[in-house]
Amino acid sequence: MSVSSTSVRMTVNGRPVEAEAQALTTLAEYLAVVLEAETPERRRAEGLEGPAVVMMNGESVKAGRVLAVSAASAQIRSFGGLARHDGVLTPLQRAFVEAGAMLCPDCAPSLVMSALDLLNRNPIPSGEEVRDWLEDSLCPVSDADRAVSAVLAAAAATRS
Ligand code: FES
């Protein structure tokens, strides 16, 4: 039995892309192809390992739980597309680095993307709100305290 695929287009990190996707191809699998993230290291750099949180039309989603076909025409931003092309980190990424919250290469990029969504919705969150928001992207051994500190520091920096 042949598995049919369809051509899916979207915009990833500001670049129009097109690739074949089957009905059950996840957005994470699709992004790994178009971002040429064929090794675990490359997938980590793009934030496609662990919870694999990306921004889809301005809201954070877990790319492994979204079908590529349902993301057709969407605007996607991955962790790897956050920093400027010259490598300058965003204030939020810097806050994560300074708080020592980039320890785990699997989940830290997803925590950053999830925090970005939170700060877009609520620029002055409480520690409790940050912790609740990030909970879904934390694993049992994640250092939640450092991640929360990083998000609060980034929020404070944008107010000053
Ligand atoms: S996946 Fe990152 S600490 Fe567990």
| pLDDT tens digits, 65-108 | 999 999 999 999 999 999 877 778 999 999 999 999 999 999 99
Q: Identify the architecture of domain 91-159 in CATH.
A: Orthogonal Bundle (1.10)
1 lines ligand 1 (CB under 6 A): no
Distance CA 155, CA 91 (A): 9
Q: Assess if CATH 3.40.50.300 describes domain 5-81.
A: no
137 lines ligand 1 (CB under 6 A): no
- Nearest protein Cα to ligand 1, atom 4: 139
- Nearest protein Cα to ligand 1, atom 3: 142
Domain with CATH 1.10.150.120 in the chain: 91-159
Q: 146, 101 in Cβ contact below 8 A?
A: yes
Distance CA 146, CA 131 (A): 10
132 contact partners, CB below 8 Å, separation of at least 6:
none
158 contact partners, CB below 8 Å, separation of at least 6:
91, 119, 123
For residue 34 the two structure tokens come to 């178009």
* pLDDT at site 153: 97
pTM above 0.85, yes or no: yes
